[in-house]
Amino acid sequence: MPGKLVVFEGVEGCGKSTQLKGLHAALQASDRLRQLQRQGVVPALLTTREPGGTELGLGLRQLLLGYQGTAPMASRAELLLYAADRAQHVEEVIKPALAQGCWVLCDRYIDSTVAYQGYGRGLDLALIDQLNAVATGGLVPDLTLWLKLDAATGLARTQQRGAADRMEQADLAFHQRVQRGFETLATQHPDRIVAIDAAAPVEAVAADIFAVVEGYLQQWYEPNLTA
Ligand code: TMP
């Protein structure tokens, strides 16, 4: 694919949504990216998220985060709903944008399913890999920025934001397993997952992220970039 898929991942309250917005703004102001845009190499930057990056996905997000039925949502039903959201998102939004050469900045993707439904809920990891492959047609991120933060610190941050959603309501042990899931993924995929210290002040985290992304910009488009 001519474009690049850059994903933000991490536990609740790690700050990825804020940092994604910040990176988008910083890239729009970056001379290097502007140069590539002028040349038509990178036509646009697109920000999106999972679940909820499409109209269908918005409905699925409401179900996934807001469901309050008398019977709890079964873990496998949860897994399939996240997969359905992703299948629609990849087909409707991500693949067409990448085919045009765009950069897609995405808030959560396949690693969240491994961490939350695999490590968190205890579902079979091989099954999740298969389902991720079906949902994405094998589309893997070019870069994953993992905002590394202790689960308890992240949850405390979300509690200050107001009412917890269905996933945030899960107990600390669940979120600690999710955190271990991200740690394991980072050791398994050092080629595409970069850890960012998300316990640092917001501006320092943003600077770390920008430095990493600038390095990749250079690496990916070197012949098109003058220093
Ligand atoms: P957030 O993107 O606003 O953090 O909310 C999404 C929630 O959904 C968050 O609790 C993580 C969870 N999630 C999964 O459990 N599995 C997934 O595959 C994805 C994309 C998100």
Question: For ligand 1, is residue 50 a contact (CB within 6 Å)?
Answer: yes
Nearest to 101 by CA among 60, 42, 148, 59: 42
Question: For ligand 1, is residue 164 a contact (CB within 6 Å)?
Answer: no
DSSP 192-218: TEEEEETTS-HHHHHHHHHHHHHHHHH
Q: What is the pLDDT of residues 9-65, one digit of tens each?
A: 999 999 999 999 999 999 999 999 999 999 999 999 999 999 999 999 999 999 999
Indicate which residue's Cα is closest to atom 10 of ligand 1: 167
Number of CB atoms found within 10 A of residue 190's CB = 9
Question: Tokens 């991942």 — which residue?
Answer: 9
Q: What is the pLDDT of residues 112-170, one digit of tens each?
A: 999 999 999 999 999 999 999 999 999 999 999 999 999 999 999 998 888 899 999 99
Query: Please, what sign has the CA dihedral across residues 59, 118, 128, 98?
Result: positive
Indicate which residue's Cα is closest to atom 19 of ligand 1: 112
97, pLDDT greater than 80: yes
Question: For ligand 1, is residue 116 a contact (CB within 6 Å)?
Answer: yes
Domains and CATH numbers, the chain: 4-226 (3.40.50.300)
68, pLDDT greater than 90: yes
**222: which DSSP letter?**
G
Among 12, 16, 18, 108, the mutation site with the greatest number of ligand 1 atoms within 8 A of its Cβ is 108
Residue 143: its pLDDT value, please?
Answer: 98
Q: Which are the contacts of 205, defined by CB distance < 8 A and separation ≥ 6?
A: 15, 19, 147, 196, 197, 198
Question: For ligand 1, is residue 53 a contact (CB within 6 Å)?
Answer: no
Residue 130: its pLDDT value, please?
Answer: 98
Residue 66: its pLDDT value, please?
Answer: 96
**Mean pLDDT, residues 189-209 taken together:** 98
**Mean pLDDT, residues 199-207 taken together:** 98
Nearest to 193 by CA among 216, 168, 176: 216
